[in-house]
Amino acid sequence: MKRYLFALLVCFPICFSSLVFSQNKNQIILDSIFKTSSEVYFATTITDKNEIHALTRLISIDNVSGLTIYAYANRKQFSHFLDLGYNYSILPHPGSLLKEEDLNMRGKNSKSPITNWNFYPTYEEYIDEMNGFAASYPNICKVVPIGTSVQGRQLLAVKISDSLNIEQGEPEVFLTSSIHGDETTGYVLMLHLIDSLLTGYGQNTRITNLVNNYQIFINPLANPDGTYRGGNNTVAGATRYNANDVDLNRNFPDPKGGPHPDQNAWQTETEAFMRFDSINHFVMSINFHGGEELFNYPWDTWAKLHADDEWLNHVGREYADTVHLYSPIGYFTGPSYSGNGVTNGFAWYEVEGGRQDYTTYFHNGREVTLEISSTGTPPASYLTNYWKYNVRSFLNYIEESSYGINGRVSDSVTNLPILAKVLALGHDKDNSFVYSKLPSGWYFRPINQGTYAFTFSAPGYFSKTITGITASNWNTTRLNVKLVPLSIGFVEDLEHKQTLVYPNPSDGNTKLMIPEGQSQVISVEIFNSLGLLVLTKQLSKSNGSQFCPLDLTSLANGFYLLKMTGGMLTYENRIIIRK
């Protein structure tokens, strides 16, 4: 005991003083790094990829190449990072690499019409352009406010559709860019896309089809405070983080990490986008970034695969392969470990609190993270090249939202639309099921080619399972569904009648399926085609089985009406005896 005490007495002052020394040293480092900037960009090396699990909660990892990590940090984050004792090298900040003339800033007072999207707009010019789109094309474009940023800048989307104010049962697709304020390629490409959709409407068959049959929402700039950190007139000095030095793409609720995986309160911008996701019904979405060139699909937060992993990979390959046809060799070939331009998020590196997993998990969506240029803010003269490489893939992606299985869910009695859950049996997991939307009752379920069983359910209705639904890639299988209300006593389930009697037609040796919620004893009455009662039977439901044998061999060939009563409910089913 004495020896331990001695060791403690000797060791404590030495350890304490070295701790104080290193803290002082860290303070000096922090003071020097954060003297003129609010965030730092740096590289560090790990010895094992598992270290990312802890680091991703501490700093904002931007890229991982082998065992080299590229990351951003604010002062508090970098202070925690220094405590870990990693070696690091500070890198030039991606938002401050270019000279002003390389940015080709276009101001609000620029009188020349836009003929070439080879510039970055000032903040005022951006707002002007967004309002200008809606003013010039009021029948197919309107500005949709999402909210405001911490510093009061506007978060805007445009909605492009031939039915701006009526929900026609079309898939809604959302494209949002530059949640990282210094990743600005997608910002200008989205403005270019809006312009092309509007000017191409009625001129180009494919674009006209897109505007007529989809509801396209585009938000070019998700983090204006970060992009205009250097002032409203330039994107030089743009930061990754928002005005509170928070990485917005780590600030969302996470399926694994809970509501606040980054330990920060939800930022004004985060709350605005969460609200926007809630009031709309996005079938698919893209979150545009820079710093790499790849298609990153869910999940980022955990290693398990998304139920639609094959489909997500199919859409990713379609995106990347098309890009490769129209771009120089070497473009869009990340991540470093595969080099083919498509990756599952977690396989690249683990992220908690990202928009992609939030939207995909909590809104039953399909969102991907598109890293579109290896340089966060490339020279403005490069922007038209990135456009040429990617534009066809943008259109492909939007069109994917209408493939797979879709249709309308409605009440079998009133035909009114229903908000129903659409579940692919034995396939869906981790919230990959979808819902139909109101007021149209339409659902959209993009899915990889194959044969599926779907269960449609809604409060107040009998669930309905439909088997043998075949989907094929690049095609649409229409499946309209009527659900029978629980509340009515007499039910004729016109669409689903074959599920009560198996087989149907039969030679008289049939089985009756007893719907859930029925009593143990079922009365069966059979009426002939003249409406005369020709047979009655009492059936007892055997334990554990939904099916009761039903002998109808005494009936002659023909059409009959089978009426089944048990408890409060009555079902009718037209049956055919054919011996």
Q: Catalogue the active-site residues.
A: 371
Give the range of 15-23, 173-181, 302-310, 315-323 binding Zn ion by CB under 5 A: 173-181
359 vs 504, beta carbon nearer Zn ion: 359
Rounded Cα–Cα distance for residues 304 and 357 (Å): 13
CA angle 133, 137, 140 (to 5 degrees): 110
DSSP, collapsed to helix, strand or coil, labels residue 159 as strand
Separation between Cα atoms, residue 89 and residue 419, nearest integer Å: 53
Cα(146)–Cα(282) distance, integer angstroms: 14
Residue spans of alpha helices (H) in 137-264: 185-200, 205-213, 224-227
Least distance to Zn ion, CB of residue 44, Å: 18
**Count of residues interacting with Zn ion (CB under 5 A):** 3
Instruction: For the chain, report the end-to-end CA distance as a whole number of angstroms.
Output: 96
Smallest separation (angstroms) from Zn ion to the CB of 289: 3
By the 10 Å C-beta count (0-12 exposed, 13-18 middle, 19+ buried), 47 is classed as exposed
Residue whose CB is less far from Zn ion, 247 or 308: 247
> Closer CB to Zn ion, residue 153 or residue 250?
250
Does residue 180 bind Zn ion (CB under 5 A)? Answer: yes
Task: Kindly indicate which of the ranges 49-57, 182-190, 508-516, 521-529 contains the residues binding Zn ion, using the contact rule CB under 5 A.
Answer: 182-190
Residue nearest to Zn ion (CB): 289
Contact range with Zn ion by CB under 5 A, out of 33-41, 42-50, 289-297, 349-357 = 289-297
> In the complex, what is the shortest distance from the CB of residue 146 to Zn ion, in angstroms, rounded to a whole number?
19
Q: Find residue 353's DSSP bridge partners.
A: none
Closest separation between CB of residue 449 and Zn ion, Å? 32
Q: Which is nearer to Zn ion, 289 or 437 (CB)?
A: 289
Cα(269)–Cα(302) distance, rounded to whole angstroms? 25
> What is the b/e burial string over 11-40, where b = at least 16 CB atoms within 10 angstroms of the residue's CB?
eeeeeeeeeeeeeeeeeeebeebbeebebb
Q: Give min distance, CB of 180 to Zn ion, in A.
A: 4
Exactly one of 57, 93, 159, 289 binds Zn ion (CB under 5 A); which one? 289
Nearer to Zn ion, 347 or 555 (CB): 347
Smallest Cα–Cα separation from 406: which of 452, 441, 444? 444
Could you tell me which stretch among 187-195, 265-273, 287-295, 353-361 binds Zn ion (CB under 5 A)?
Answer: 287-295
Q: Which stretch binds Zn ion (CB under 5 A): 178-186, 319-327, 516-524, 543-551?
A: 178-186
Pinpoint the alpha helices (H) of 254-406.
268-279, 309-325, 345-348, 355-362, 383-400
> Closest CB to Zn ion among 184 and 280?
184
Q: Does the CA dihedral 543-545-546-549 come out positive or negative?
A: negative
Q: State in angstroms the smallest separation of the CB of 469 from Zn ion.
A: 38
Interface with Zn ion (CB under 5 A): 180, 183, 289
